[in-house]
């Protein structure tokens, strides 16, 4: 259903480029097309045109594409003007669209209209932004999988199974004297068990997908001068942190993103943890503690020459209850071989690189990364939370088979799942999601 108003935006990134695109969508596209091009276009046919200003002069020339409703990205009439990629000429073209009755599009408004016009569901809409923001090839492929409906297909399968079970339960509510026998005869408990097993597999995949999207935040912690900055440089493959023999060289938090088997990891180097009277170093240590509190995983570095001492023990005892990997650095000074000990500690040399691959493998293990291959889809934290809510409802249903309570828990589980695809999403949620999109998409 075409919207009453027409929106327009520059759909290509800011800056210079060989090609720039202005996108227009809405009920006024045909009139606007005549105003800019001076003619009608054959739908879905690339046409070389001049783009005219109000006086009939040429703003630019390039390719124009017209998509007639409902066969377009938004489900409305859409016009795409592909001209030269300078900001001035694109802004002139956009201003011409506004003069002809369009308004400037809000962030994500094109994709929001696609969702509202049933071209895509909400999970697919979110995957558009995730594909644009993908930090690794694996993340991009997973976003494409979600955009093509892999995640939505899993959710629809769960909802369909819940609907069938709800129909069975609802049928018993009119005949309370026979309800339990009827549920047992139709194996309601077995159906619920199958649904929970399917839900668990989707939850596991969603956690992996969320990890691909958001990445893993890893903090390097430890006493001063144990090699945290050297390890950051080794993992990053670049000299991103200053390394000296002077303890306390790192005074502030340094962040660097890397990729480990397609998983984005945000490595955070921090000031060494110790008592200090230096006011600048004390600020750095406080920032270290704040970074640790927000991390997903702590890499605690120790010197393999001296091992873990009493001070290390005190620091480790004060760290939050998060997954940890103990790393003994500087094995190049001890002659020890790189490896993983029985206590899961990793022995390596940040200076030579020996054992760093073992550390990367241990990082993936500690965050429970299990690649699912081509079926991996992208997911967000709200999806993971919705799946957890659905699981909690189904667990309650399994614990209490009184038909009325059973039916209500099944309904709540279905509502939680449908929130993922947007069937029961509030306007506030939609506004929050689409406001994070880039303009023009």
Nearest C-alpha neighbor of 199 from the set 421, 425, 417: 417
The CA–CA distances, whole Å, from 245 to 227, 274, 373 equal 9, 16, 44
| Span 34-53, average pLDDT | 94
Tell me if 434 sits within 8 A of 109, measured CB to CB: yes
| Span 124-150, average pLDDT | 90
Please tell me what DSSP assigns to residue 214.
H
Give the pLDDT of residue 278.
57
Tell me if 332 sits within 8 A of 352, measured CB to CB: yes
SS3 56: coil
Give the pLDDT of residue 331.
92
- Is the model more confident about 414 or about 290? 414
Among the listed ranges 186-200, 273-287, 394-408, which one has the minimum average pLDDT value?
273-287
Task: Please report, in angstroms and rounded to a whole number, the separation of the first and last CA atoms in the chain.
Answer: 19
Give the pLDDT of residue 250.
45
pLDDT band at 242 (very low <50, low <70, confident <90, very high): very low
pLDDT band at 262 (very low <50, low <70, confident <90, very high): confident
SS3 412: helix
Q: How many CA atoms lie within 13 A of 49 on its CB side?
A: 24
Give the pLDDT of residue 246.
43
Among the listed ranges 109-118, 195-204, 400-409, 421-430, which one has the minimum average pLDDT value?
421-430
The pair phi, psi for residue 111, each rounded to 5°, is: -70, -35
The CA–CA distances, whole Å, from 377 to 148, 201, 261, 386 equal 10, 12, 16, 16
Residue 319 burial (10 A CB sphere; 0-12, 13-18, 19+): middle
CATH architecture of the domain with residue range 7-120 = 2-Layer Sandwich (3.30)
Q: Which two tokens stand for residue 354?
A: 């020996």
Q: How far is 84 from 61, CA to CA, in rounded Å?
A: 8
Q: Tell me the domain boundaries of the chain.
A: 7-120, 122-422
pLDDT band at 109 (very low <50, low <70, confident <90, very high): very high
The pair phi, psi for residue 67, each rounded to 5°, is: -120, 115
Give the pLDDT of residue 49.
94
Share of the chain above pLDDT 90, in %: 47
Q: How far is 106 from 180, CA to CA, in rounded Å?
A: 54
CATH architecture of the domain with residue range 122-422 = 3-Layer(aba) Sandwich (3.40)
| Span 358-381, average pLDDT | 86
- Is the model more confident about 167 or about 301? 301
Among the listed ranges 44-53, 334-343, 387-396, which one has the minimum average pLDDT value?
334-343
Residue 347 pairs in a beta bridge with: 328, 339
Nearest C-alpha neighbor of 270 from the set 227, 208, 325: 227
Ranges of beta strands (E only) in 270-342 are 297-303, 324-329, 339-340
Tell me if 100 sits within 8 A of 32, measured CB to CB: yes
Residue 324 has pLDDT above 70, yes or no: yes
Residue 413 has pLDDT above 90, yes or no: yes
Which residue is it, tokens 């809000």?
106
| Span 103-115, average pLDDT | 93
Tell me if 248 sits within 8 A of 223, measured CB to CB: no
pLDDT band at 241 (very low <50, low <70, confident <90, very high): very low
Give the pLDDT of residue 335.
86
Give the pLDDT of residue 183.
63
| Span 262-272, average pLDDT | 79
| Span 100-104, average pLDDT | 95
Q: Is the pTM of this model over 0.85?
A: no
Residue 23 pairs in a beta bridge with: 9, 80
pLDDT tens digit string along 176-223? 555 556 666 667 788 899 999 999 999 999 999 998 888 888 888 888
Q: How far is 86 from 146, CA to CA, in rounded Å?
A: 33
Listing from the earlier edge strand, what are the strands of the sheet with 78-83? Answer: 47-52, 58-67, 78-83, 20-25, 7-10, 103-104
Give the pLDDT of residue 178.
54
């Amino acid at each position: 259903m075409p919207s009453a108003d027409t929106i327009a935006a520059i759909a290509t990134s800011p800056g210079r480029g060989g090609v720039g695109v202005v996108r227009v969508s809405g009920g006024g596209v045909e009139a606007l097309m005549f105003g800019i091009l001076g003619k009608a276009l054959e739908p879905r046919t690339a046409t070389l045109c001049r783009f005219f200003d109000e006086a009939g002069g040429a703003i630019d020339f390039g390719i124009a594409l017209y998509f007639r409703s409902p066969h377009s990205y938004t489900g409305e009439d859409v016009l795409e003007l592909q001209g030269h990629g300078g900001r001035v000429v694109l802004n002139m073209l956009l201003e011409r669209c506004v003069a002809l009755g369009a308004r400037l599009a809000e962030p994500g408004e094109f994709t929001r209209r696609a969702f509202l016009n049933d071209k895509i569901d909400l999970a697919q809409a979110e995957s558009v932004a995730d594909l644009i923001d993908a930090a690794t090839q694996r993340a991009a492929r997973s976003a494409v999988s979600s955009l093509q409906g892999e995640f939505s297909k899993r959710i629809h399968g769960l909802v369909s199974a819940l609907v069938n079970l709800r129909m069975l339960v609802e049928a018993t509510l009119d005949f309370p004297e026979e309800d339990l026998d009827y549920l047992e005869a139709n194996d309601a408990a077995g159906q619920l068990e199958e649904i929970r097993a399917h839900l668990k597999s989707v939850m596991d995949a969603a956690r992996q997908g969320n990890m691909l999207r958001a990445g893993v935040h890893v903090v390097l912690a430890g006493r001063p001068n144990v090699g945290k900055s050297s390890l950051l440089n080794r993992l990053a493959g670049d000299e991103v942190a200053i390394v000296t023999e002077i303890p306390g060289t790192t005074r502030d938090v340094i962040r660097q993103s890397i990729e480990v088997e397609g998983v984005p990891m945000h490595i955070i180097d921090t000031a060494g943890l110790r008592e200090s009277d230096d006011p600048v170093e004390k600020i750095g240590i406080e920032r270290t503690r704040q970074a640790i509190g927000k991390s997903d995983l702590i890499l605690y570095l120790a010197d393999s020459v001296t091992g873990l001492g009493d001070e290390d023990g005190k620091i480790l005892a004060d760290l939050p209850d998060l997954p940890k990997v103990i790393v003994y650095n500087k094995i190049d000074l001890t002659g020890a071989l790189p490896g993983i000990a029985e206590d899961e500690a990793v022995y390596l040399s940040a200076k030579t690189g020996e054992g760093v691959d073992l550390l990367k493998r241990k990082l993936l293990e500690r965050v429970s990364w299990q690649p699912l291959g081509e079926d991996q889809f992208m997911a967000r934290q709200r999806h993971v939370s919705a799946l957890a809510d659905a699981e909690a409802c189904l667990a309650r249903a399994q614990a209490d088979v009184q038909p009325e309570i059973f039916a209500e828990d099944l309904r709540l589980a279905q509502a939680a799942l449908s929130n993922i695809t947007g069937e029961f999403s509030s306007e506030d949620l939609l506004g929050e999601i689409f406001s994070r999109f880039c303009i023009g998409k």
